[in-house]
Amino acid sequence: MNHLGVEVESSGEVDAETARLRREGLTTRNEEGVTRCHAVQDKVWVEDPDGAPWEIYKVLADAPQLPAACCGA
């Protein structure tokens, strides 16, 4: 496993989760409009207490084409 993810219904939910995580004192990293493998997404990253990375994301669109380095390829 390289990370865990939770898909939400809107970019607003990504923003709300970012604010919630920060209120809890967690360090977050946001990415907006990024293309990752197959989709354009808004997302926030956070690590759990064991160091596992989690992403909370909203898929905005299918990627127009696969990036040169996709999904560890």
The tens place of each residue's pLDDT in the chain, 73 residues long, gives: 789 999 999 999 999 999 999 999 999 999 999 988 789 999 999 999 999 999 999 999 988 776 555 555 4
Give the pLDDT score at 73: 44
> What are the boundaries of each domain within the chain?
4-62
Token pair belonging to 1: 């496993």
- Containing 3, the helix (H) or strand (E) segment is none
Long-range contacts of residues 21-30, Cβ cutoff 8 Å, at least 24 apart? 21/46
pTM: 0.82
Q: In this structure, what token pair is assigned to residue 16?
A: 């709300």
**What pLDDT, on a 0 to 100 scale, did the predictor assign at position 64?**
78
Report CA torsion sign: 59, 50, 46, 25.
positive
Give the separation between CA 15 and CA 43, rounded to whole angstroms. 9
The fold adopted by the segment(s) 4-62 is 2,3-Dihydroxybiphenyl 1,2-Dioxygenase; domain 1 (3.10.180)
**Predicted local confidence at residue 71, as pLDDT:** 58
pLDDT at 24: 95
Which tokens is 29 given?
Answer: 């990293």
